[in-house]
Amino acid sequence: MTTTNAPAQFREDPLTQVRRAYVAFAQGLFQAAPRGSYHWDPNIAATEIVITDENPINLSVVGVRPAISFTRSPVQFFGLGMDDLDKYDFATGMKQKTMLVPGTMNINCCSRNDLESENLAWLYAEQLWLHREQLMRAGMFEIGRNMVIGFPSFLGSIVEDDGADEWYVTSVQSLFQFHRTFRSTPLGARVIQGVEA
């Protein structure tokens, strides 16, 4: 069985690639900002905003700077018709199946100031919408259109520290989809025979 029609990263580990796409977009967005305007730097000592895919956020690393973290919701397999069949080769018995995998990424914009967390959430969501084509070229089927921006609330489980009650989070829920296309031939029947045995 082979996976086709996807960049190498999506063929090998699609869920990690989804997370990397969101994180890399945030890092690129804020790296382009001038110093004094939430400039992101790979050097943790020099950055003005911490962008991480780690949860919970470690306040001893973040300090007083704002931070953005990412939490993926469950994904599901979404079929596209009878047997998800896209192509069939009568001569070889090869089947090509396609499905969509939708899910939601929660972008947690954290700050000690509720308005700052809300502004960061708006900035990220708007820029994701404006530049969605870049992420689609990187392998996403759909991203950056269906988003919900929450309201500032206390952090709770997103921060790893007793000082969580001094922090606010405004979350952006970003719906995404990527597709999977597989080809299999009757040679794959050995796998099923092994399961049946």
pLDDT, tens digit, for every residue of 85-99? 777 777 777 888 888
Distance CA 64, CA 18 (A): 28
Q: Which residues of 10-25 are buried (b: 16+ CB within 10 A; e: fewer)?
A: bbeebeebbbebbbeb
Segments making up each domain of the chain, as ranges = 2-73+101-175
pLDDT at 190: 57
Q: Are β-strands 168-184 and 2-4 bridged in parallel, bridged antiparallel, or unpaired?
A: antiparallel
Cis before 66 (ω within 30): no
Longest alpha-carbon distance in the chain: 66
pLDDT, tens digit, for every residue of 130-180? 999 988 988 889 999 999 999 998 876 566 665 556 889 999 999 999 988
Which candidate, 134, 129, 123, 109, places its Cα nearest to that of 175? 129
pLDDT, tens digit, for every residue of 19-59? 999 999 999 999 999 999 999 999 999 999 999 987 777 77
Kindly state the average pLDDT of the residues 117-136.
Answer: 95
